[in-house]
Structure 1
Amino acid sequence: MLDNMPRGTICIEDIEMGMVRYLRKTITDEDIEKFAEVSTDRNPVHLDDEYAQDTIFEGRIAHGMLTAGLISAVIGEQLPGHGTIYMSQSLKFLAPVRPGDMVLAEVEVTDIVIDKRRVKLECRCMVDGKKVLVGEAMVMAPSRKFD
């Protein structure tokens, strides 16, 4: 299941401090399997129930970068949206995401440098109100001047 805000573009001229956009997605076994295939990360903690039971997680977990990819989706599709160029991203993984978890991925504008089209975004992913990932992104936003 995917629940998110409208997709599109918010140009640098229209971005405001504190602006927030988000999406919600339930992480499925199929998502984990596809991510393993595309990334070639086949760590058994993600794919093998028996193996994962004997880890500190006591069960399978989603790839951390799969969860982080939801942040990328919010940035690339909503805030700033289409035409955005990623410049940097920091991530801190706080808790595992498991198959069946509903992840809320949010980004919030914390700084804007209009003349350089730079936008700093606080990034967070939550499961059941608990932060599982936090970070910060710097992006170059699209501008109406370049349309």
Structure 2
Amino acid sequence: MLDTREHNLPVGTICVEDLEIGMTRSLSKTITDHEIELFAEVSSDHNPVHLDDAYARDTIFQGRIAHGMLTAGLISAVIGEQLPGHGTVYLGQTLRFMAPVRPGDRVEAEVTVLTIDHAKRRVTLDCRCRVGDTVVLKGEATVLAPSRKFD
């Protein structure tokens, strides 16, 4: 279950008119075996490094890891639910996978406003996921933010 209340942050929408550089929102989630299995089913990515303990022990990871895109999906959750929130349209995303996420890891996904083009409603967001103090994923997203002018 997503823990958007861990930081006492609202779920909903922040219109482009109310966004500010430096605004940050986050959520935390523990990645479970069941979620890795569900993601494999939904994505059709059945790579044994995600699903087979014996196979994964003999890889560079020395054990099973979560799909990178499962971790990246937490960024999408922050963008779609909190910053900017409901009504946001994804335009692009860059990602760098820095370290593996393992079953049982608690991932914190954090999104911060970098730039705002009010005329075009375009917002660039710094995106990071951490397990403890380790950055496991980083990148930037470009989104079309909701606006009160279009309600």
Aligning the two structures, in what range does the TM-score lie when normalised by the shorter sequence? over 0.9
Show the counterpart of 1:3. Answer: 3
Q: SS where residue 69 of structure 1 aligns?
A: helix
Show the counterpart of 1:15. Answer: 19
Alignment-mate amino acid for residue 84 of structure 2: P
User: Residue by residue, what CA displacement relative to the aligned partner does 1:48-70 show, whole Å, maximum 9, x if unpaired?
Assistant: 00000000000000000000000
Query: How many Å separate the matches in 2 of 1:76 and 1:120?
Result: 14
TM value normalised by structure 2: 0.96
Structure 1 gaps of 5+ residues are: none
Structure 2 gaps of 5+ residues are: none
Residue 79 (structure 2) pairs with residue 52 (structure 1): no
- Root-mean-square deviation over aligned CA pairs: 0.7
Kindly indicate which of the two structures has a greater share of residues assigned to strand.
1
Query: How many Å separate the matches in 2 of 1:129 and 1:85?
Result: 30
**What percentage of aligned pairs have identical amino acids?**
72
Query: How many Å separate the matches in 2 of 1:129 and 1:117?
Result: 33
Residue 94 (structure 2) pairs with residue 90 (structure 1): yes
Q: Indicate which of 29, 34, 51 corresponds to 2:33.
A: 29
User: Residue by residue, what CA displacement relative to the aligned partner does 1:28-57 show, whole Å, maximum 9, x if unpaired?
Assistant: 001100000000000000000000000000
Q: Indicate which of 55, 67, 75 corresponds to 2:79.
A: 75
Query: How many Å separate the matches in 2 of 1:40 and 1:139?
Result: 27
Stretches of 4+ aligned residues off by more than 6 angstroms: none
Query: How many Å separate the matches in 2 of 1:6 and 1:41?
Result: 33
- C-alpha displacement at 1:2, in angstroms? 3.0
Q: Indicate which of 137, 140, 143 corresponds to 2:144.
A: 140
